[in-house]
Amino acid sequence: MSVVEWKKEGTVAVVTMTNGENRHNAVFVADMSAALDAIEKDKEISSVVITSSDQKNWSQGIDLTWLTERMGKNETKQMKDFLYGINGIFKRLLTYPMPVIAAINGHAVANGAILSCACDFRFMRADKGFFFFPEVDIGIPFLPGMIAFCRKAVPEYKFNEMLLSGKRYGAAELALHNIIVKACENPETLLAEAMAFAGTYQKKRGIFAEMKKRMYKEMVRVIETEDPPIIEKLTLMVGD
Specify whether the CB–CB gap between 51 and 194 falls below 8 A.
yes
Structural domain contains residue 68: yes
Integer CA distances (angstroms), 194 to 20, 49, 53, 146, in order: 21, 7, 15, 24
Specify whether the CB–CB gap between 133 and 166 falls below 8 A.
yes
Burial of 205 (0-12, 13-18, 19+ CB in 10 A): middle
Q: Apex CA 132: angle with CA 114 and CA 200, to 5°?
A: 55
| Verdict on whether the full-model pTM lies above 0.85 | yes
The helix (H) or strand (E) run that includes residue 28 is: helix 26-41
- In tens digits, what is the pLDDT along the chain, a chain of 240 residues? 799 999 999 999 999 999 999 999 999 999 999 999 999 999 999 999 999 999 999 999 999 999 989 988 999 999 999 999 999 999 999 999 999 999 999 999 999 999 999 999 999 999 999 999 999 998 889 999 999 999 999 999 999 999 999 999 999 999 999 999 999 999 999 999 999 999 999 989 999 999 999 999 999 999 999 999 999 998 776 655
What pLDDT shows up at residue 235? Answer: 75
Helices 217-225 + 205-215 axis angle, to 10? 60
Give the bridge partners for 100, in sequence order.
48
DSSP strand pairing (107-109 vs 47-52) = unpaired
Structural domain contains residue 99: yes
Q: What size, in residues, is the chain? A: 240
The boundaries of the domain holding residue 60 are 4-199
Structural domain contains residue 189: yes
Structural domain contains residue 33: yes
When divided into structural domains, the chain yields a total of 1
Structural domain contains residue 218: no
What pLDDT shows up at residue 1? Answer: 76
What CATH code is carried by the domain that includes residue 130? Answer: 3.90.226.10
Q: How many helices and strands in the chain, by DSSP H and E? A: 12, 11
What pLDDT shows up at residue 238? Answer: 60
Give the C-alpha separation, 186 to 111, whole Å.
Answer: 23
Q: Apex CA 29: angle with CA 28 and CA 32, to 5°?
A: 80
Dmax over Cα atoms in the chain, in whole Å?
Answer: 52
Specify whether the CB–CB gap between 171 and 184 falls below 8 A.
yes
- Ramachandran bin of 25, using left for φ above 0, alpha for ψ from -120 to 50, beta for the remaining angles: beta
